[in-house]
Amino acid sequence: MPAVITLALSKGRIFDETLPLLEAAGIRALADPEVSRELVIGTSRADVRLLVVRAADTPTYVQYGAADLGIAGKDILLEHGGAGLYQPLDLGIAACRMMVAAPEGFDYAGSVRRGARLRVATKYVKTAREHFGAKGVHVDLIKLYGSMELAPLVGLADAIVDLVATGNTLRANGLAAVEEIGPISARLIVNQASLKVKRGAIQPLLEAFGRAVAARAAGNR
């Protein structure tokens, strides 16, 4: 019997944008997680199954080998730290930017120059700590789990660190990006032990994903 390969991913943008890559590898999901409540989804290949997990949990499932592979945003991987994970491929999907944002009119650059202590709300505490630490900016970080854009509007924070795609959410809340921390996209992650034990099954999948990503990049050029 062939080894079963388990791929963990979150529903929403990552799931939707992964489907074409799976199809390019000859794999079709047998259920839609937006409709079905199943958390383990079979595929057209008897030896490949999908786990539907919270985005922030994807690296944990792969780190402990409950999933052999996963698809996780770089934002999530930076917070997780990447222990036990092999990260062979930037899939180029779910692309956005990690930004510092503040209310329009807030003099962020001036505050930083004056050495003011800023209150920054974010879900991405580790990334924010490293970013501001490297720049020597004094911050008090406030951990939130979502809707960061609200924090400056109600006086909880001077600024936020969040993902920005179109910028519509910032604009709708009177905020503006003041600094880019870096580009973000989803990566394929692999459990290091799985790669050794199941290399025969995993390697062709990695290659198929790699070809699909290269073909899409060539098409976009």
- Would you tell me which residues interact with ligand AMP (CB under 6 A)? 13, 73, 94, 96, 162-169
* Shorter beta-carbon distance to ligand AMP: residue 66 or 163: 163
Residue 181 CA to residue 132 CA, distance in Å, equals: 10
CA distances from 60 to 47, 65, 112, 153 (A): 22, 8, 36, 33
Min CB(78)–ligand AMP separation in Å: 13
Q: How far apart are alpha carbons 172 and 149 in whole angstroms?
A: 9
Beta carbon nearer to ligand AMP, 95 or 201: 95
We find the least distance from the C-beta atom of residue 207 to ligand AMP, in angstroms, to be 25
Q: What are the CA-CA distances from residue 93 to residues 46, 65, 96 (Å)?
A: 26, 24, 9
Q: In the bound complex, what is the minimum distance in angstroms from residue 91's beta carbon to ligand AMP?
A: 12
Sequence-separated (6 or more) residues with CB below 8 Å from residue 188? 69, 70, 71, 87, 88, 89, 91, 206, 209
Q: Which is nearer to ligand AMP, 5 or 186 (CB)?
A: 186
C-alpha to C-alpha distances, 104 to 117, 120, 149, nearest whole angstrom: 19, 15, 12
> Least Å distance between CB 94 and ligand AMP?
4
- Compute the least distance from the CB of residue 16 to ligand AMP, in Å: 11
Max CA separation in the chain (angstroms): 66
Cβ closer to ligand AMP: 112 or 159? 159
